[in-house]
């Protein structure tokens, strides 16, 4: 006879799972909500303090200075709405960690996509009218360790500095020594189903929030990890 698994009694839950297909969420908002809200309720029901990774997409992007924690969310996409509702679903004993433009040496992300495209083509078209702070996941992970020593609440945690996606693509090619041109284009020209905030720069108004390195430093650290044998 097989024994049932012991009940989960975690000390802390780091909840990073999400429906992250921003365009797909427009087609299936209920599916996105089931994961981003329902899944968060499930994670919170474990009863342990929860780190909920949230996003700049809870904002509409109309501000032209960095969003702080006390700014009111106003998502402009189904993904953003479900992540915003997910923040509420995380409950009272949670750290809501809003970050943005995440990249790292594994998984599906902008740095890896640009390196792949840059190896195949002479030119890539990249939008130049969305501004944010590309954040290296290893820096966010280190900050998370410090954050869980702070009171529950919302924290804005992104790399220092900001750029457009086109600036970021150029930096990737420059740092990686890839010979590929960036053609600067617009969000309208790209014509994706979901609206994206034009201004995604976040800043923390809480002095105790960990400060991350500049995005370019994050990029160099990520590329160094990719080059490791
Ligand atoms: N990427 C960004 O720029 C960004 C910015 C701000 C905040 N965030 C937030 O940061 C977190 C991580 O983002 P990411 O870009 O690393 O996302 P990702 O690469 O899409 O990873 C999401 C993870 O969630 C898992 N997942 C999805 N649906 C699930 C379900 N129903 N049950 C269990 N696991 C499920 C996926 O598992 P499988 O691999 O098995 O599908 C995957 O491992 C998310 O909460 C996202 O909203 C991301």
59 within 8 A of 73, measured Cβ to Cβ: yes
Q: What pLDDT score was predicted for residue 9?
A: 87
**What six digits make up the tokens of 217?**
């430093």
Active site (annotated) includes residue 52 = no
- β partners of residue 97: 53, 155
For the entire predicted model, the pTM comes to 0.96
**What six digits make up the tokens of 174?**
């420059």
Q: Compute the distance between CA of residue 159 and CA of residue 208 in angstroms, rounded to an integer.
A: 16
Q: Compute the distance between CA of residue 94 and CA of residue 89 in angstroms, rounded to an integer.
A: 10
Count of CB atoms within 10 A of residue 211's CB? 12
Q: Compute the distance between CA of residue 171 and CA of residue 46 in angstroms, rounded to an integer.
A: 42
Q: Compute the distance between CA of residue 147 and CA of residue 160 in angstroms, rounded to an integer.
A: 17
Q: What pLDDT score was predicted for residue 77?
A: 98
Q: What pLDDT score was predicted for residue 145?
A: 97
Q: For 13-227, which CATH superfamily applies?
A: NAD(P)-binding Rossmann-like Domain (3.40.50.720)
Mutate to test the pocket of ligand 1, among 16, 41, 143 (most ligand atoms within 8 A of CB): 16
Q: What is the mean pLDDT of each run of 10 residues along the chain (229 residues)?
A: 81 97 98 98 96 98 96 98 98 98 97 97 97 98 98 98 98 97 96 95 98 98 90
Q: Which residues line ligand 1 (CB under 6 A)?
A: 16-20, 35, 39, 53, 55, 83, 99-102, 107-108
Mutate to test the pocket of ligand 1, among 20, 25, 50, 113 (most ligand atoms within 8 A of CB): 20
Catalytic residue among 52, 53, 79, 155: 79
Q: Compute the distance between CA of residue 12 and CA of residue 47 in angstroms, rounded to an integer.
A: 9
Q: What pLDDT score was predicted for residue 94?
A: 98
Q: Compute the distance between CA of residue 113 and CA of residue 115 in angstroms, rounded to an integer.
A: 6
**What six digits make up the tokens of 7?**
């009940």
């Amino acid at each position: 006879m097989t024994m049932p698994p012991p009940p989960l009694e975690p000390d802390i839950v780091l909840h990073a799972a999400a429906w992250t297909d921003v365009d797909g969420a427009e087609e299936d908002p209920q599916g996105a909500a089931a994961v981003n809200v329902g899944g968060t309720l499930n994670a919170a029901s474990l009863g342990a303090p929860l780190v909920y990774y949230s996003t700049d997409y809870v904002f509409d992007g109309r501000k032209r200075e960095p969003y702080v924690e006390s700014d009111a969310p106003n998502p402009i996409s189904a993904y953003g709405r479900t992540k915003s509702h997910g923040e509420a679903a995380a409950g009272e004993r949670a750290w809501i960690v809003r970050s943005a433009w995440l990249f790292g040496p594994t998984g599906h992300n902008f740095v890896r996509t640009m390196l792949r495209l840059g190896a195949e083509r002479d030119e890539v078209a990249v939008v130049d009218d969305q501004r944010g702070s590309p954040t290296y996941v290893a820096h966010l992970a280190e900050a998370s360790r410090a954050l869980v020593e702070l009171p529950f609440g919302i924290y804005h945690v992104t790399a220092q500095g900001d750029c457009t996606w086109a600036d970021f693509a150029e930096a990737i090619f420059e740092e990686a020594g890839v010979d590929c041109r960036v053609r600067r284009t617009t969000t309208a020209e790209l014509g994706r189903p979901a609206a994206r905030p034009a201004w995604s720069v976040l800043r923390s108004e809480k002095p105790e929030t960990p400060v991350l390195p500049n995005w370019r430093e994050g990029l160099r650290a990520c590329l160094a990890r990719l080059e490791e044998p």
